[in-house]
Every structure is written in C-alpha cells, then in structure tokens.
C-alpha cells in the first residue's frame, strides 16, 4: 500500500461570486451538505468560509456556528475554518471564528500582497446580485493584509485555543515569514504549509514554482508537512498531481476551481474530490481517513 494522501476540500470561498457557477454552495445547509458529500468522497479536511443569503462572503459568527454544527453532525472530517475571510474584513473579524468554535484546524495567511480577482468581472456577462461586480472590481485596489503584527496576533490566538494552523504561503517570501515565526517560537514545529498558487498578485500556478516552493521549504523549515492549492482547473489538478508524486498533500474544491474538466463546470465538491482520489489511487496514494490525517498533520481530535 502506498503512502496515504490527505485530501482537503475547499467548499466555498471569497474568490468566487455566485454568477460564476450555479453550483457554488451559499447557505449553511448547502455548505454543510457539500462538505459532508466531499468527506464521503474521500476528503479528510473540509475548509470552510461562509456567505450571506445573497452569496456575499461573510464573517458572521452565527453563520459559522450553524455551518460548523451541521458538518460536525454529519461527518468526522477535520473542519478547518478560514481566517482569510474575504475582501475588506479586518484581522479581528477574520480571527473571531477561532475562539468561537475552537476548530481542529484553521488557516493562517503568511503575508500581505495584492489580491486581484477583478479579471473575473471582465469575463462575466450577466450578474445574479448587485454586489458581485463591485466586489470583484474593488480588488484592483485591494491588498490582502497580513502584517507581522497580524501574524503575531494570529499565532497567539491559535496557540491559546490549541488550533492547528495551516500556513497559507502564496509566495516564496512567505516561507521566510514562517521561518521567522519558528525562530521566534511563535509557531511550533513541525508546521503544516499550504502552497496557494495562482492568485493574481502572487506566484503563478506552474509546476516549476511548486518544485521551487518544495525545495525552499525543505531547506528552510526542516521537518514539515505540506499541501498545494492551485487556482483554476489546470492549477488545481496539475499541481495536485505533482504534489501526489512529490509526496505532498492536496486541496481541491469549488473555492479555488469551478471546473471538473476544461469547459465543464463541476456539479459538486464531491466530484472534484472523486477526481483527485482517482488520480491518487493510480499513483499508489490512498486517500487518508480523517484519523490518519490527524496523525499525519499532528492535529488534536476535536
Ligand atoms: N482562497 C484561497 C486563495 C483562507 O481561507 O485563509 C485562499 C484561502 C485562504 O483559502
Ligand atoms: Zn479559504
């Protein structure tokens, strides 16, 4: 039997708007159902954001609470909440979910950079909601802010509540920010790193860049676990396949990619998980169960 692979499913997120696909989960019930189906298809982690009824990204505690409860009642997957949030949210708003739910895992964004999702607006012909075009266009002037003060704050919140951080790295410099936190004793080794590749404003979704990330992280961080979240169809599946070959973990899901094949919208998160699970098995990597994932990543059971 090959080395297990931890599949994470990013269920819905702040990079997409409902007009892009009718299959994006919006309400707590839709997000939870989609997460449970993804877990049944082989995801050991479900990464969640929440949205208001009109699909607008939200940080409202009630929405997180409801979604979290529904997922926890329906499956044993590790529920990983976002602390990246959405455009315009403060670090305090983004971090609030950690003390609120004390999830097993939460994301932790390792640096500031331009975060451009405005090109989607240029490709969209009709809109479902008034807020969508303005939201996307506003990112021409948007910096996703994660200063050292923010990073220190997030380290403290996560440590205080015993939450395992998944460190979101969007550029090579962010690996050095992880190193800084390790050297200062703010993060406990071995860390778990997610290479997020293909956001406009950060590194592109290319195999050469993943090889470079992998090499630099090995040299700088020592023992660690890692995964890749590629944006867009090619980014998601090509980079996830490379990660399978290199011994890394993978993330797929409608937060980062809306397509199951070129030109074909993915009907569900589960369909994306099934596809990567199939590729993984072909490469002798069996999808890890949630408990195996807890062991591999060093996550305390909730
Ligand atoms: N949507 C990804 C580009 C987070 O939630 O903290 C980034 C992400 C970050 O998933
Ligand atoms: Zn996210």
Contact 112, 142 (CB under 8 A): no
Which among 240, 238, 232 is positioned nearest to 263, based on CA atoms?
232
Predicted pLDDT of residue 227: 99
**Atom number, ligand 1, closest to the C-alpha of residue 84:** 6
Ligand 1 pocket mutation, candidates 82, 142, 228, criterion most atoms within 8 A of CB: 82
CB neighbour burial string for 275-302, b if at least 16 within 10 angstroms, e if fewer: bbbebbeeeebebbebeebbebbebeee
* DSSP-based three-state secondary structure for 229: strand
pLDDT confidence bin for 36, thresholds 50/70/90: very high
Contact 299, 105 (CB under 8 A): yes
In the reported structure, the alpha carbon of residue 255 is separated from the centroid of ligand 2 by a whole-number distance in angstroms of 7
Predicted pLDDT of residue 2: 84
Tell me the mean pLDDT in the region 265-271: 98
Ligand 1 neighbour 82 (Cβ under 6 A): yes
Token pair, residue 90, equals: 């403060």
Into which CATH architecture does domain 7-297 fall? Answer: Alpha-Beta Barrel (3.20)
**Atom number, ligand 1, closest to the C-alpha of residue 199:** 3
Ligand nearest to the backbone CA of 106: 1
CB neighbour burial string for 254-269, b if at least 16 within 10 angstroms, e if fewer: bbbbbbbeeeeebebb
Widest CA span in the chain: 51
DSSP strands (E only) in 179-295: 192-197, 225-230, 249-252, 259-261, 264-265
Ligand 1 neighbour 83 (Cβ under 6 A): yes
CA 153 to chain centre: 20
Check whether 5 has a pLDDT greater than 70: yes
pLDDT tens readout for residues 276-292: 999 999 999 999 999 99
Check whether 1 has a pLDDT greater than 70: no
Check whether 109 has a pLDDT greater than 90: yes
Residues near ion ligand 2 (Cβ under 5 Å): 13, 82
Tell me the mean pLDDT in the region 205-216: 98
Check whether 301 has a pLDDT greater than 80: no
Check whether 302 has a pLDDT greater than 90: no
Check whether 128 has a pLDDT greater than 90: yes
Check whether 136 has a pLDDT greater than 90: yes
Enumerate the domain spans of the chain: 7-297
Tell me the mean pLDDT in the region 197-220: 98
pLDDT tens readout for residues 139-162: 999 999 999 999 999 999 999 999
Check whether 103 has a pLDDT greater than 90: yes
Tell me the mean pLDDT in the region 8-27: 98
């Amino acid at each position: 039997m090959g080395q297990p692979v931890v599949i994470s499913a990013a269920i819905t997120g702040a990079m997409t708007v409902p007009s892009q696909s009718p299959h994006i989960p919006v309400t707590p019930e839709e997000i939870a159902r989609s997460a449970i189906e993804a877990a049944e298809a082989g995801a050991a982690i479900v990464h969640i954001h929440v949205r208001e009824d009109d699909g607008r990204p939200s940080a409202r505690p009630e929405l997180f609470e409801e979604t979290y409860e529904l997922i926890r009642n329906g499956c044993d997957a590790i529920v990983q909440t976002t602390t990246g949030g959405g455009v315009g949210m403060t670090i305090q708003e983004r971090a609030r979910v950690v003390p609120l739910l004390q999830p097993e895992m939460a994301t932790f964004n390792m640096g500031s950079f331009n975060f451009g999702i405005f090109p989607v607006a240029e490709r969209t012909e009709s809109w479902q909601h008034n807020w969508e075009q303005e939201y996307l266009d506003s990112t021409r002037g948007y910096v996703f802010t994660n200063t050292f003060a923010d990073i220190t704050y997030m380290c403290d919140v996560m440590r205080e509540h015993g939450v395992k951080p998944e460190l979101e790295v969007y550029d090579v410099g962010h690996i050095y920010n992880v190193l800084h936190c390790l050297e200062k004793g703010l993060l406990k080794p071995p860390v778990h790193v997610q290479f997020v590749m293909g956001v406009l404003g950060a590194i592109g979704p290319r195999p050469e860049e993943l090889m470079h990330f992998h090499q630099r992280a090995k040299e700088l961080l020592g023992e660690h676990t890692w995964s890749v979240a590629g944006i867009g169809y090619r980014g998601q599946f090509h980079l996830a396949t490379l990660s399978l070959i290199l011994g890394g973990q993978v993330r797929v899901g409608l937060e980062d990619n809306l397509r199951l094949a070129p030109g074909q919208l993915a009907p569900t998160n589960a369909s994306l998980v099934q596809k990567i699970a199939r590729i993984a098995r072909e490469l002798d990597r069996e999808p890890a169960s949630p408990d195996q994932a807890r062991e591999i990543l060093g996550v305390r059971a909730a």
